[in-house]
Structure formats: C-alpha cells, structure tokens
Amino acid sequence: MCSVVKLRRTNNSIQWGFTLEGGVDQGYPLYIKTIVPGSPAQKHGLAPGDAVMRIGFEDCPGMNLSAGKAEVLRQGNQLDLVVEKGAVQPDDPRVRAAAENAPRVELVEETSPFINQPGSGPKFKDVKPKTYTVLDQELPESEKGGGKPSSIFDRKREERSKYQQATGPTIQKAYGQKK
C-alpha cells in the first residue's frame, strides 16, 4: 500500500534525515536504508525498508541511485515522496550484497555561508564606470573658475526674448500682477 509523505524544511541546513539506497543498477527499487532519529523523515513516518515509488512528479521505477539522489536535491525544501511501506528488507543479505557491490555516488548538499548572516554577502570588485572617471578628470578644470553658467536673468530686460517682454496678460504674469 502506497502513502504520500510530504517533508518540509525552512532552509537546506536542515537535513532530511534518511539514506537512499537501491535503484535499477542494484536490482532493487529505490528504498530508505536508514533514518536519523528526530529528523523530518522520522517525524513524518518514513522507516527503513520503505520503497520510494515517486519523488515529486518523477516516477522512480527504472531510476538508478544517482538519479534518485539528484531528484531529491532538485526538490529543494519541499520534498513529496510516494512510498510503499516495508517493501524492502534492508537487513536481507541479498539486499546488503547488492548495495555493497554497487558503485557509490555521493551528492553533498552544501549550505551557503551567507544564509542567516545579516550584513554579509558576496564581495564585489570595486568597479568605477568610465563616465565617473571622465567626470573626475574634468572636475578639477571646472573648479578653477571660468564664467558661471548662463541664465536668462543675466541679460538686460531689453535683450530678453519678446515673449518675456510681454506687457499684456500672459502666462508669465499672474492675474492682477502689474510688472
């Protein structure tokens, strides 16, 4: 009888707490070999000898051990397993012999050193854009002096454009303004 086991964790520093074994390369279905006491796997009812029929949406019959482990890693922090309780006897000498003769595959799930450390993050090379470099080169020249920026108010009233010399009601003068 198959059952669905939904394992959840807040981050990948918490291990699932089970060892996966078997696969087509060993002649057995993927199964749970050992369970760590107090782990999420034990709390959700996994036990040694449970055959894994599905990992997430991937069916496991025909899957080898390395593909099964990779699929567990691909699931991230939400692992859904369909298991058949007690389908494999891990203590059976034939199962042990098949597991010992199979090639070993180790997948290590590492925790980022930057998780849960406020203020720490990746260090980046100090890059100065070319625009800022050019501005820094020209800034000393502009600080030496020279004329101030031009303004329409630097001109005499007569030299200004006709639009600004208007005497009647315009957009430039508020209603009731004399000058």
Q: In this predicted model, which residue has the larger pLDDT, 71 or 136?
A: 71
pLDDT of residue 138: 78
Q: In this predicted model, which residue has the larger pLDDT, 13 or 6?
A: 6
What residues pair up with 52 in beta bridges, in sequence order?
A: 83
In tens, the pLDDT along 103-150 reads: 555 666 666 665 556 665 556 677 778 888 888 887 776 666 666 666
- Whole-prediction pTM value? 0.52
Domain-wise residue ranges, the chain: 1-56+68-75
- CA 161/CA 51 separation, integer angstroms: 89
Give the class (CATH, top level) of 1-56+68-75: mainly beta
Residue whose entry in the numeric block shows the structure tokens 């329409």:
152
Range scoring the smallest mean pLDDT among 36-40, 59-63, 65-69, 160-164: 160-164
Count of residues making up the chain: 179
pLDDT of residue 139: 77
In tens, the pLDDT along 80-103 reads: 999 988 877 766 666 566 656 655
- CA 125/CA 144 separation, integer angstroms: 33
Contact 16, 35 (CB under 8 A): no
In tens, the pLDDT along 152-168 reads: 666 676 666 666 666 66
